[in-house]
Amino acid sequence: MRPFVRKLEELKNVSIEVVADDTPDEEGTAAIGIKFSDGTTLQAFYWRLVQDGHAELASFDHQKKYGLPAPIDAKKHVSTRLTGKICRNVQFDDATGDLTLVLGETSKLQVFNFTGYESWTLRFPDGTGEYSNYAQSQ
């Protein structure tokens, strides 16, 4: 098993906090930071929240109005939904470089990688880490 995948195994059964990232958002992004209770951090630009087996919201929805009274604050929504949840598993897709955080009983946060761009950054408490485009190439 690769060292990176082993490190992901260590994120089981820790709680998370989701915070809005100060990075300016470009079209389709809604930068968020995820703080794991063990000290690991994840910065993600492109993501999708899956709730009860259905896509609920994505970074692409951030600041869109869609005929609603006000634009969607996707960062606030995902923070409200996921902060305090327990991370049951983190899955890494070798083919795409995507991460899936399985949270609680009914929630998943899919964090997307797009080649040539560091779509997510993961830092572990021991100072090691990975970038989405590098992890995929290993």
In 3D, which of 117, 134, 103, 105 has the Cα closest to residue 36? 103
Quick: pLDDT tens for 97-126. 999 999 999 999 999 998 667 789 999 999
Quick: pLDDT tens for 6-65. 999 999 999 999 998 888 888 778 999 999 999 999 999 999 999 999 999 999 999 999
Could you give the CA distance from residue 14 to residue 37 in angstroms, rounded to a whole number? 6
Could you give the CA distance from residue 51 to residue 131 in angstroms, rounded to a whole number? 26
Domain ranges of the chain: 3-114
In 3D, which of 43, 24, 25 has the Cα closest to residue 33? 43
